[in-house]
Amino acid sequence: MRLVITLFTIGLLSACANTEQQNLATQNNWYKVGTIDGQQGHSEKSANDLKKLANLGEINLADYKKGYEEGLDSYCELSNAYVLGVTRQYYQGVCEDRPNGWKFRENWISGRHSTAAGMM
């Protein structure tokens, strides 16, 4: 039952994030769209993905990339890695090219193998 609730919550949050990003794209706030992707540890969207999000309207790729990098700065903090692992969140390897990227992965794996994970 706990698994069903967790999966439902993750799905709901993803749907909310997608709706929020569509609204931000409509408002031409590409910086915030990028920030959300980075903070959630998603892979960087391609120009084609951004155009779809904007319904073929204008995109500002530079603003998106700036926001994405700043969002990743937050996501890739080492203290975040262990928590992501313990809570069984998927890691897409977005921190690999950053300083301490290997350490982020180690901390995430450590969290995945932690006995604390069963308590959540």
What are phi and psi for residue 14, nearest 5 degrees?
Answer: -65, -40
90 and 119, same domain (yes or no): yes
Q: What is the pLDDT of residue 119?
A: 57
- Are residue 33 and residue 87 in the same domain, yes or no? no
Note the pLDDT of residue 12.
43
Give the range of the structural domain holding residue 53, as residue numbers without chain letter: 1-75
**pLDDT tens for each residue of 58-71:** 889 999 999 999 99
Instruction: List C-alpha distances in Å: 93 to 73, 83, 98.
Output: 14, 15, 10
Both 46 and 32 in one domain: the answer is: yes
21, 45: one domain: yes
66 and 7 together in one domain: yes
Same domain, 82 and 24: no
- Cα–Cα distance for residue pair 39/41, rounded to 1 Å: 6
Same domain membership, residue 81 and residue 24: no
How confident is the model at residue 3, as a pLDDT?
43
Q: Are residues 43 and 85 in the same domain?
A: no
Count up the domains in the chain and report the number. Answer: 2
Q: Is residue 1 scored above 50 in pLDDT?
A: no
Is 86 found in the same domain as 46? no
Say what the pTM is: 0.77
Averaged over 104-111, what is the pLDDT? 95
Whether residues 66 and 115 share a domain: the answer is: no
